[in-house]
Amino acid sequence: MKLPQIGRLAAGPRNSIADVAGVGVGHCTLAAGAVQTGVTVVVPHGDNPFTHKLPAAVAVINGFGKSAGLVQIEELGTLESPIALTNTFAVGTVLTAQVRHAIARNPECGRGQPTVNAVVMECNDGYLNDLHAFAVQEQHFEHALAACGPDFAQGAVGAGRGMSSFEMKGGIGSASRLAGRYTVGALVLSNFGKLPDLVLDGRPLGRELAARAASDAAPEQGSIIIIIATDAPLEARQLKRLAVRAGAGLARTGSVYGHGSGDIALAFSTAGAGEPLADHVFDPLFHAVADSVEQAIVNALFAAEGVVGRDGHQRRALRDLLNEGN
């Protein structure tokens, strides 16, 4: 089965969040036995985000999560740090690393200048990864940050190394869509879903796969973090509207935002100061968000390799299951 192209809109040249100029992504992957985890960092531009803040907004689709930095974004509507993704138990460590990095670039941070609102977002990779090992250290954030650029791997890499989707291997996925003169890009940390619920480009593929692959009866308790970037000139209120539409792309894949699922979208604009777009021209942007989020989830599934981790737990790759059916 070929990787499907979701929706009617064209993708950018990389079909990733990095099609929004200035955005970069980097990973640090930890893959050794029971340790299957890592850090992924998204930088919003090449400048110092603490001094060159961007408009941003958050939509909490389902709030079963332990992220840091979202309250101030909700209040002030600005992003002033890179966005770091990791596992649930590593949020504190990566937050400290983020703050140290901000202080190194801005020595008066927390003294003559305000404190930094560092953003760290998480999903629970404890099925494959030994969370009790606390393997993620501050230097892993630095490694991921140093690796940030427009070209990056997807699948079982960085923060996505230990993540599961639809009882298969999940992880990092990214995509972009062109909405007229503007670009919308999405990056997901995909860690949600039950196999029978999987819908792939409108096809109930999960039902077909469940007939030949094991699916347990446990409730869906995964999560997904969705990052939306655009070069459209938008203010925080308008970015909130974009972030809410991430739920449309998520729902198309078969998610019902389960009780134990932490489903959170963060949207930011890289456009400089200027007149924001009028709300009545937003529909192409809404389509671009929904399509790029759905495509990013699909890309994570197709890119991920199978992983064996803690206590012999394993997640198989979607492409391996598809090949078995041929």
C-alpha distance from residue 97 to each of 84, 100, 235, 273 (Å): 10, 5, 29, 30
Catalytic residue, chosen from 263, 269, 291, 292, is: 263
Catalytic residue, chosen from 223, 255, 269, 292, is: 223
- Given a contact cutoff of 8 angstroms between Cβ atoms, the answer to whether 130 and 308 are in contact is no
Count Cβ neighbours within 10 Å for each residue of 229-238 and write b for 16 or more, e otherwise.
bbbbbbebeb
Residue 269 catalytic?
no
* Structure token pair of residue 23: 């955005």
Catalytic residue, chosen from 261, 269, 291, 292, is: 261
Q: Which amino acid is at 175?
A: A
Residue 261 catalytic?
yes
Beta bridge partners of 168: 165
* Structure token pair of residue 49: 């985000």
- Cα separation of 211 and 192, whole Å? 20
3-state DSSP assignment of residue 284: helix
Residue 279 catalytic?
no
Q: Which amino acid is at 311?
A: D
Q: Which amino acid is at 101?
A: H
DSSP assigned state of 259: T
- Kindly list the catalytic residues: 223, 261, 263
